Amino acid sequence: MRNLKGWSVGLAMLLAMAGVAKTGAAQGAKPAAGKGDLRVYFVDVEGGQSTLFVAPSGESMLVDTGSPDRNTVTPRDASRIAAVCKLAGVTKIDNLVITHYHSDHVGGLPQLVALVPVGRFIDHGPNTEGAEVQGGASTIAGYDAYQKVLADTKADHLTVHPGDFLPIKAFKVEVVSGNGDVIAKPLAAGGQPNPACDTSPKKDPEGDENERSLGMVITFGKTRILDLGDLTWAKEPGLVCPVNKLGKFDVYVASHHGLDRSGSPALVDAVAPRIAVIDNSGRKGAAATTIDTIKGSSRLEGLWQLHTAEGNDAAHNTDESHIANLPGPDAGNYLELAVHPSGVISVTNPRTGNTVDYPTK
Ligand SMILES: [Zn+2]
């Protein structure tokens, strides 16, 4: 994963693609995004998360920062996020949401803030994961490094809870989970019974930071996007059983990189996404069972992956045209989703230059 040679190829491609996109538009190719769109960039942080939302006004929200890199000169994930910020026209990240303190989410933060300034940091409150938990030492290190950044910068810091709205003007962000809690009452779009609860398998709580993930419902116009971070399988019934408190979604950022420790049939059937995006790597996430669950959901129109899941057969990967990174040298390609004011959603794969439009429903 820490293939430095691969990183430099990835960044070079990103920068090259920024140029290609401009050239393509000039040649009459359809631009991926237009004026008035909410743009969402799924940065390839190799099985971590980093998702950039940019409103038509330029107001921005980044969800998570990928992993740290021992290469402090050109750190892989921070550099990829900074490159995507640049091509998106983001010179300052207005809001940086940290869903939880695992290193694939908060780890890239110190290296990122050295490249792109941040206006406000948002999180679920203090870390309570100890060194006795598997991976706990790196969680503590990531949290401590984040606290140092908070102390060193003059940026605002906000702790939020289920039921809160983030102070973002251009799109609505409602917190539905955080620090182990979930919303008590259904959202306006929720409240339906969820028959999938009866047949959905049960899994044990994991007792770590994943369960404390900040989960968010992002609304732009009538378009609804669900991002629950790495919220675990055992926590999902609190949101969707026996009543679906969340309602249905246009876009589902597949929980926990598509690992089979999240994304139960109870959740996915309830939220019934039209479009799902999995931030997996070649070897992490996008479990075959997760793919089956998403593909089997009732309203699915498009499944997108950041990488081919190399341990899966073709039936347990989406179509190659919907994958940002194929097996082989690490290209670091992102995916871009644009929500147009009309409600049409476009997903662009910069690897191929192709865009798929999903008409308003
Ligand atoms: Zn993760």
CA–centroid distance, residue 360 to ligand 1 (Å):
31
* β-bridge partners, 358: 345
CA–centroid distance, residue 312 to ligand 1 (Å):
20
CA–centroid distance, residue 90 to ligand 1 (Å):
24
CA–centroid distance, residue 48 to ligand 1 (Å):
5
pLDDT in tens, 256-312: 999 999 999 999 999 999 999 999 999 999 999 999 999 999 999 999 999 999 999
Query: With 70 as the cut, is the pLDDT of residue 207 above it?
Result: yes
CA–centroid distance, residue 67 to ligand 1 (Å):
10
User: Do residues 256 and 212 lie in contact, with contact meaning Cβ atoms separated by under 8 Å?
Assistant: no
CA–centroid distance, residue 184 to ligand 1 (Å):
25
With CA atoms as reference, report the closest residue to 357 among 67, 118, 32: 32
Alpha carbon 284 to its chain's center: 15
What pLDDT score does 11 carry? 47
User: Do residues 94 and 119 lie in contact, with contact meaning Cβ atoms separated by under 8 Å?
Assistant: yes
pLDDT in tens, 142-161: 999 999 999 999 899 999 99
Q: For residue 134, what are the CA distances in angstroms to 109, 124, 328?
A: 21, 21, 30
Q: For residue 263, what are the CA distances in angstroms to 119, 199, 227, 253?
A: 32, 14, 11, 10
pLDDT in tens, 115-126: 999 999 999 999
Range 88-109 average pLDDT: 98
With CA atoms as reference, report the closest residue to 143 among 106, 91, 174: 106
Q: Which residues of 264-296 are buried (b: 16+ CB within 10 A; e: fewer)?
A: bbbbbbbbbbbbbbbbbbbebbbbbebbebbee
* DSSP string across 93-149: EEEEE----SHHHHTTHHHHHTTS-EEEEEESSS----TTSTTHHHHHHHHHHHHHH
Residue type for position 295 = K
| Region at 328 (left for phi over 0; alpha for psi -120 to 50; beta for the rest) | left
Tell me what the pLDDT averaged over the chain comes to: 92
Label the pairing between strands 60-63 and 51-54.
Answer: antiparallel
What pLDDT score does 33 carry? 59
What pLDDT score does 180 carry? 98
Total-model pTM:
0.91
CA–centroid distance, residue 235 to ligand 1 (Å):
15
With cut-offs at 50, 70 and 90, classify the pLDDT of residue 196: very high
